Chain A
Amino acid sequence: MALVIVLAVAMFGLAFSRTALDRSALELSRFESAIAEAGVVNEQLELEVARKESPVRVAPLAKGLGLVIPDERRPIAVEGVVEAPRGVERASTFDIPVEDATTADPQLAASQPGD
């Protein structure tokens, strides 16, 4: 009798674990499909971003908003950081030490030629 009960429980357990396994496999399959779909959406979004960032789109928009390419750029050499070429303004016009020029305003420092 005990053997029968053990066998019954074992069979029930086997059937249950098999069902659970199948359910997990199904779920995994669904996740894989969802990942694939998300991948496709991601690709589409990356493409969309690239299109939006493309100069072909941005430049006419910028022009339409009245933005222009500066006629004349005035590079400024920060003394001690880069050697000032002929005709280029020196950092003394800033009247601040080099260390301060590079740390006080990172944006300004980043825009210096040669950086």
Chain B
Amino acid sequence: MPGRSAGRRVNSATVRMVSLILVFALGWVGLGYRLFQVQVARADELRELGEQQRMVERTLPPQRGTIFDRNGDLLATTVDAQSIYAVPHEVKDPVLTAQQVGIITAEPWEPILERLQNGENFVYLARQVKPGVASQVMDIGLPGVFTETEASREYPAGGSVAQVVGFVDIDGIGAEGLEFAYDDALKGTPGSILYERDRLGNPIPQGRREEIPAIPGLDLVTSIDLPLQYSAQESCRRARERTDANGCWVVVLDVSTGEILAMAGTPAFNPETRLDENGNGFSNFVVRGQYEPGSIQKMITVSAALDKGLVGPDTIIPGVAARIEINPGACASGTDDIYGCYSDATSHPTEDMAVREVIARSSNVGTIMIGRKLEPETLYHYLDAFGIGTETGIDLSGEAVGGYNDNAACRVCIASMSIGYTVAATPLQMAAAYAVIGDDGVWTQPHIVTDKVDADGSIVEVEPETHKVVTPETAQTVRELLAGVVESGTASAAQVNGYRVGGKTGTANKIDDSGSYTNETIASFVGLAPIDDPQIVVGVVVDEPKGAARFGGTAAAPVFSEVMEQALHRMGVTPDA
């Protein structure tokens, strides 16, 4: 039956052929289905997955702006620093790791161990360490310990300018001073970069790359003169040692522009430890400290009376006694100024005094008698115009406002205000008030930053506010009165070699927590030079000087003399005496 046999073979071959075709067909269908899935159905998902594997996106941190002094010297800049971090689950011996890192970084190892054991997947062991420290740690080859580059803010001038510049926190965000006030301008705008990498994580040359560059922060040019700043701080340091004072603060202002040339003080602040010499936090008394200015405010009282034409420099104030009683019986209960009994610093017979003598001798009684010629609203107007009780608007954070007591029910407040009590002012406000006298009666907003410079070098100049306070004639008269204070009055120690200067001493008793006046004082001096064409104002405040040097003329005036002399020479002011 060859025919039947052949027919079976044909059938068998056909079956095998058909089966094979079916297998192939199914295979192709399967492949087609898979292809459809990959190319169409899951195309987006798989494309994204592929991109995730080979594409890396990183944020490009912007370079924080640099801060310069007026001569182009660096006050704050940003450099790369190394930070040491760990992936705790990769660390084999946490105790040993903490100890080794602690030894090299000179930090206690227990907190490092705590961080390693706190259950996080990523912990910093030490941030922004000094150059060489990170490589020492890496050389040991501790498992799970790595380094990364971070931006570190550096202050090459150290503590001499720290109270102005301030500092940033560990994440580079402005925390105090200019760093805080100008954080938005300094920080810049982050960028981003998207690039293709190989399996080792290296960028693929010619690979896909999309970059949005970071925009660097603006550079700030300040009006600070670094050598003068240092010199002012040293003068304060010496004064503090000499008088055993709690603190000493100096501000140096350019009369016509309102630029701050120096703003220094002690106890000095250390930007590395974030503490001052006494272990306290950041402070800047020139801007944040409020005190009763005492006699330096007599300048405002007399300016108001002169400007209103109520007195002239040689107007005689008749019958100036050594003591005056505003509230009947106040003097009988003691000499508590706030309740209406005011005395001059030294006893003298009742006498007629010219206005210039009242100022030169800093007579409280004489000044109160001048002040009583003013309507309360008039005195308030001049206090406001001179900037007392109003923020100057200086470009630093935390400025104190100050204020004065304008309560009509307060019977003694006008008298007290005339001589600088029941008034709270900052050293900066007082310096700016004296700059009014130097600038022919115009108040100019004190400021530190003069220019903002972007990465292209474009400069944005800062324009300070100004307003008129007294007439130029009044200002000139007051300048002569202030010169008399130095030449024949209470401030002979304020004289400056080669220059004619003017200014006013102030010695104000401090108030304790209960509101009573104590024997402790705040001694101050504010003055201008050269007095015939003032260029510079220097204000000095010494907090609680002890012993014989507890007065403005003995504690603050010598500091003024030193700082003013340096300032005049630094600014190239021609001598006039």
Contacts and interface: CB of A to CB of B under 8 A. Distances in A.
A59 B77 CA distance: 22
- Residue picked from B74, B131, B569, most chain A C-beta under 10 Å: B74
B154 A22 contact: no
A55 B569 contact: no
Interface string A38-70: 001001101100110111100100000000000
B205 A25 contact: yes
Given A44-B79, A47-B154, A54 B226 contact: yes
B336 interface: no
Contact of B206 (A21, A40, A86): A21
Given A55-B160, A55-B230, A56-B160, A46 B205 contact: no
Contact of B577 (A25, A28, A85): A85
A43 B79 contact: yes
The 3 closest A-B pairs by CB, nearest first: A25-B205, A50-B156, A55-B230
A22 B206 contact: yes
Contacts of B156: 47, 50-51, 54
Nearest to B206: A25
Nearest to B268: A56
Given A40-B80, A44-B79, A85 B157 contact: no
How many B residues touch the partner, as a band? 20 to 34
B203 interface: yes
A54 B157 contact: yes
- Residue picked from A22, A55, A59, A86, most chain B C-beta under 10 Å: A55
Nearest to A77: B574
B327 interface: no
29 contacts: A21-B206, A22-B205, A25-B206, A26-B205, A40-B79, A43-B77, A44-B131, A47-B77, A50-B74, A50-B156, A53-B73, A54-B156, A54-B160, A54-B230, A55-B157, A55-B160, A55-B230, A55-B231, A56-B157, A56-B160, A56-B230, A59-B230, A73-B498, A75-B575, A86-B577, A87-B577, A88-B498, A88-B575, A113-B575
A86 B576 contact: yes
Interface in B139-160: 154, 156-160
A106 interface: no
A47 B79 contact: yes
A29 interface: yes
Nearest to B576: A85
A82 interface: yes
Interface in A1-59: 21-22, 25-26, 28-29, 40, 43-44, 46-47, 50-51, 53-56, 59
